[in-house]
Structure 1
């Protein structure tokens, strides 16, 4: 009830009633002044009272009628504006309103029409940008897939394929001298065994890249531990794993860090000739720290930058930069290799994108 009394229609009625009261007091003051000063025969106190009562009753009725009539048009126009705002809030930016009058309410309607046009243009621009972004993402994913396939094909040709060819040649040569020079044949068989083990290691390293990037709902630490456990069963390498519970991380961060670990372990299997590997992961309120080290042959980092084999190192750096992290590599010949990754993570970012 109180809400209705505060509506625009009742505000108009109240304004007319205020005018009626003011006019009543003014008229009463004039009549009383005439009665007191001039005391005409035709004007008496009863006549004044009767006239004022009749004036108030008729004025009250006219105020109600005038208030409803004068507020009706304004109320309808304000209702149209309210409907326009509701349509805009629901995303219907093509809605328009037009008034024949040329007053302030019509000006508000014109401003809302302009706002709707601008919102519709922005909506179309956002849809176009979203389509372009989606197309770019598909193109980038396709290019990355092609590039990864080309790299795997190149690695298979440069490493495994050549080793298998060398194995074939040595096996044929050993077969020819097996009866005449058994000692020499024995030495070549040992070399064949070493080459086969090396080819097997190369294949395991390359197969790491074919492992799905998704962790199948597992936390990052569990995914890395599962990966290392598989390598333990297949490789003669002692893995030292020290990983804290990193909590709920954004999916993009987990996937990129998992790929970095895959690439690092692949490089260790293929190039390091290491017997010990340490994987460590810690975190605090500001960042995640990932450390991967081996006791392998190491390399000169400056020479490595100009080598085709540095593709994996470049990929790891790019993956870290994509999630806002930093990548540090330390290595010397005969002293192994150390990789440090730091990724800033805010507390309110944990768990998003899950």
Structure 2
């Protein structure tokens, strides 16, 4: 786009120069024909060259000024495509582009308002979903308590009874005691596996009562260690993220990390959470096998779920990969400054309402 504009700028300057030269030659012959006098060719050539250079310079300046205006318009479109809806074009009265700039600024303002409204609605919906799932969470905890009683608790009771009888059994029948010891080892191993499975089911509760950064600092290294991954965590977020955004980002991170473990065959993974001022950005990169973009089935690799969570808050998600070069999951959410009349305690009030509902 910019290259074409620059070519047009030089082309208009050259065309203006050629037009000036042609006009001066036409005037020269007109003077010769209609006045029967011949102007001094050297003087006429000097005037022609001077006017040509002047006209080309003027055309170049006009083209350059037009190019700057078009570049500003293109920059505004780039900001919009990058999710920076707060960018505005400078409006100058009497300028030929002022009307276009006003229309673009008005369009950017409308889109910013609508996306902000969409994000608020998405946050509200996410918070309502969190509140509405409390009953299901309580039921799940009851189920886990029953499972603990029916499995691990009984295993521990059996271990205790067998271990209590072992000293006397060693005195009476050493061979039988050896068999009991082997049973104790097998029972303890089974109880350990059952306990790990139950603990794994509790992992989605990691975010409760913590900020996203606190939860990731605890959860991410443990997850990488348990799955044999070399993990790097880089969090550069200045302001506190809203509860709804933290909840959705944490779920996206869990989905992305689960995909790394299931599909990537990676040795290392890097998680980056940043704040550009206009966006909250998330990146999960691995050094695994990668795959062709066309191999992602609709709903496959968790992309549809991650994208749906991001779009609920006005953002988006994508997967960047190719065979042999690993995979990167990129997520971005737009960030807006609070309105002048917007209460700054809204987020805390939402949390209090959520706590009250619990």
TM-score normalised by structure 1 residue count: 0.40
- Kindly indicate whether structure 1 or structure 2 has the higher relative contact order, using CA contacts under 8 Å at least 6 residues apart: 2
TM-score normalised by structure 2 residue count: 0.39
Structure with max Cα Rg: 1
